[in-house]
Structure 1
Amino acid sequence: MTRTVDVVVIGGGQAGLAAGYHLRRLGVDFVILDAQSAPGGAWQHTWDSLHLFSPAAFSSLPGSAMPVQIGETYPDAAHVVTYLSEYEHRYELPLMRPVSVHGVHRDGAFLRVESDAGVWRARVVISATGTWWRPFLPAVPGRSEFAGQQLHTVEYRSPAEFAGRRVEVVGGGNSGAQIAADLAYDTELTWVTRRPPRFLADDIDGRALFDAATARRKALESGSADTGGVASLGDIVAVPPVREARDAGLLKASPMFARLSSDGVEWADGTRAEADAVIWCTGFRPTLSHLAPLQLRGSRGHITTVGTRAADEPRLHLLGYGDWTGPASATLIGVGRPARDAAREIAGLLGPRS
């Protein structure tokens, strides 16, 4: 069965919901296709101890403030899932799930969205699939030889399964620091990073990060010097568990090892360490395979955009993948503005409503 609609939004996480909110306000005919079986996007798949960097008031999607979580300054992932679920119901967003999109194709005046639930012909497509579903693993020598357990951030849940084991946590960003802090008390932990970890000042949280990203956007738009944004402040937000482990002397980083062996890791100077598990907190890449038929990706895997619009396909918008699709657009509070701008541009392209 083929259905025709003005806009198809691919992805029902925070970016897709923000897009849906603004499209509904503008009276656009749209549908959101979500591959997940339940609301909450990637937040329903995170590790048990994960909390936001910001208080609830600074972690909200457009139109509806996130409620405070009783007893928590920084809400946990389960609270975010509940908020997103209530958000989509509050605004009666037209979601269909679980629906996996296989490909987006040009089809005359339309883009044809092919999925396991049928085909949609859309005048515009918003891709909002995020990055969680495409974890990145670096090409470290010996990775295939290691006989122990290897997993990525997306597969880690709690320290209980690693108690008493020798664990290497790889990565100097927020995920690496938080998971290392999680494991610091009950495992023989080695935290390795490519460069010395850069902790933000203890009083900086997501509010300041959003302000930094906003200031950078304004500077670039006005032609002023690049402020550096969030990257100028550091790499790791010192959330309470990270701060506690660091201050207890349990969160000391070692340089990145050169290779893995069957039973551990080895540094360039020949130093070796046995390991039972390696957790790769090495980031993600944008989930864009469904857009491959459009042949828009550049050498670095990104699609060139003007704002959120694909530079070489004006009927396609990308939302929530990172700063290249809007400053702070991969965050709850930051996705609202690019979602609004995309919806307005799309409404202008579609023309007056009859």
Structure 2
Amino acid sequence: MTRTSQVVVIGGGQSGLAAGYHLRRLGLDFVILDAQTTAGGAWQHTWDSLHLFSPAAYSSLPGRLMPPQAGQEYPDAQHVVEYLADYEKRYELPIERPVRVLGVHRDGGLLRVETDSGPWRARAVISATGTWWRPFLPAVPGRGDFGGRQLHTVDYRSPKCFTGRRVIVVGGGNSGAQIAADLAHDPEVTWVTQRPPRYLDDEVDGRALFDAATARRRALDAGRTDTGGVASLGDIVAVPSVREARDRGLLKASPMFTRLVPGGVEWADGTRAVADAVIWCTGFRPALSHLAPLQLRGRRGRIATAGTRAADEPRLHLLGYGDWTGPASATLIGAGRPARDAAREIADVLA
């Protein structure tokens, strides 16, 4: 049996909840389809020591400030999960889970959302599936030859899983730095990066990152010179754990190796390091496979957008995939504004 709704939101993480908040305020009929079994989005799958870049008050979704976490300036991931669970209950958001969306199709004047629990038809769809579910692994020579364990950021949980192991951590961004710091007390850990680590000033946190991303978007929209956004400030936010490991001399980066060998890794000069495991902290790509039937993806796998709206399918909006769907839209503090804009535009069209 096909069910109907004015708007179907795909994804019940931070962007999906922000969209739901604004759709509810505008009085629209909508449903949120979430593939997870419980509330919290990707935050419930992160590593144990992960903390936010910003204090709770600056990591909030629209309408509800995140309460501070006792004893923590920067809340941990479990606190975020609890906040998101409370948020969806507070606003009585209509979430169905677990529901896996298989594909979005054009169906006359509507969009048809096929799921593992039956189809939906809607006048508008908001895709808010994020990137966590599509980890990126670079094509490094010898990856198939390495005899140890290989895992991505999404698979890492805690140092206790690697006690007595020789580990290579790959990646010069926040995930690489935080996981390298998490493991830094083990002398058998090697951190490798494509270029020397670029730390943001110690006083910089998520608030400054959001401001930088917003200023860049405004400059580009106005036809002014690209400010560089967050990338102009650096690659790594010096959260307390990273700062401590760095200042103690435990967080030193080596250049990127050129290939993997059966027992470890090898650099261009022939130097080798023995390794039992390689952790690839090499980023993510947008999780957009459910939109494949619409045939919208262009260069670099992105869908062309005007604001949050898909340029070639005006009934589709995208939230939370990066700056191309709104300044800092993949962050808690940045999720609200694009969600508001998408909800308002949908409301205007439906009216």
Using the size of structure 1 for normalisation, the TM-score is 0.98
> Counterpart of 2:115?
115
The equivalences for 1:211-226 within 5 A come to 211-226=211-226
CA distance in 2, matches of 1:294, 1:220: 28
Deviations 1:87-140 (CA, angstroms, capped at 9, x unpaired): 000000000000000000000001000001111001000000000000000011
State the SS of the aligned residue for 1:300: helix
The equivalences for 1:190-205 within 5 A come to 190-205=190-205
CA distance in 2, matches of 1:262, 1:131: 31
> Counterpart of 2:240?
240
CA distance in 2, matches of 1:171, 1:58: 27
> Counterpart of 1:36?
36
CA shift for structure 1 position 219: 2.0
CA shift for structure 1 position 172: 0.3
State the SS of the aligned residue for 1:333: helix
> Counterpart of 1:262?
262
The equivalences for 1:37-76 within 5 A come to 37-76=37-76
CA distance in 2, matches of 1:111, 1:163: 51
CA shift for structure 1 position 224: 2.3
What one-letter code is carried by the residue in structure 1 that aligns with 2:3?
R
CA shift for structure 1 position 218: 2.2
CA distance in 2, matches of 1:107, 1:338: 26
CA distance in 2, matches of 1:210, 1:128: 19
What one-letter code is carried by the residue in structure 2 that aligns with 1:61?
L
CA shift for structure 1 position 4: 1.2
State the SS of the aligned residue for 2:93: coil
What one-letter code is carried by the residue in structure 2 that aligns with 1:102?
L
Q: Within the alignment, does 1:284 sit opposite 2:278 as a pair?
A: no
Contact 1:164 / 1:187 at 8 angstroms: preserved in 2?
Answer: no
Q: Within the alignment, does 1:16 sit opposite 2:4 as a pair?
A: no
Q: Within the alignment, does 1:181 sit opposite 2:181 as a pair?
A: yes
CA shift for structure 1 position 150: 0.6
State the SS of the aligned residue for 1:335: helix
Give % identity: 81
Contact 1:196 / 1:255 at 8 angstroms: preserved in 2?
Answer: yes
What one-letter code is carried by the residue in structure 1 that aligns with 2:72?
E
CA distance in 1, matches of 2:216, 2:277: 39
Contact 1:320 / 1:335 at 8 angstroms: preserved in 2?
Answer: yes
> Counterpart of 2:334?
334
CA distance in 1, matches of 2:299, 2:345: 27
State the SS of the aligned residue for 1:278: strand
State the SS of the aligned residue for 2:346: helix
CA shift for structure 1 position 186: 2.4
What one-letter code is carried by the residue in structure 2 that aligns with 1:335?
A
Q: Within the alignment, does 1:5 sit opposite 2:5 as a pair?
A: yes
Deviations 1:237-260 (CA, angstroms, capped at 9, x unpaired): 000000010011111110100000
> Counterpart of 2:160?
160
CA distance in 2, matches of 1:187, 1:317: 47
CA shift for structure 1 position 293: 0.3
CA distance in 1, matches of 2:260, 2:227: 39
CA distance in 2, matches of 1:292, 1:225: 34
CA shift for structure 1 position 296: 0.4
> Counterpart of 2:26?
26
What one-letter code is carried by the residue in structure 2 that aligns with 1:282?
T
What one-letter code is carried by the residue in structure 1 that aligns with 2:119?
V
CA distance in 1, matches of 2:305, 2:321: 12
4+ aligned runs moved over 3 Å, structure 1: none
State the SS of the aligned residue for 2:80: helix
CA shift for structure 1 position 216: 1.5
CA distance in 2, matches of 1:272, 1:186: 19
CA shift for structure 1 position 223: 2.7
CA shift for structure 1 position 221: 2.7
Structure 1: which 5+ residue stretches go unaligned? Answer: none
CA shift for structure 1 position 163: 1.6
What one-letter code is carried by the residue in structure 2 that aligns with 1:13?
G
CA distance in 2, matches of 1:55, 1:168: 31
CA shift for structure 1 position 187: 4.6
> Counterpart of 1:139?
139
Structure 2: which 5+ residue stretches go unaligned? Answer: none
CA shift for structure 1 position 161: 1.1
Alpha-carbon RMSD across the aligned residues, in angstroms, is 0.7
CA shift for structure 1 position 75: 0.2
CA distance in 1, matches of 2:2, 2:237: 47
CA distance in 2, matches of 1:326, 1:207: 16
Contact 1:136 / 1:284 at 8 angstroms: preserved in 2?
Answer: yes
State the SS of the aligned residue for 1:37: coil
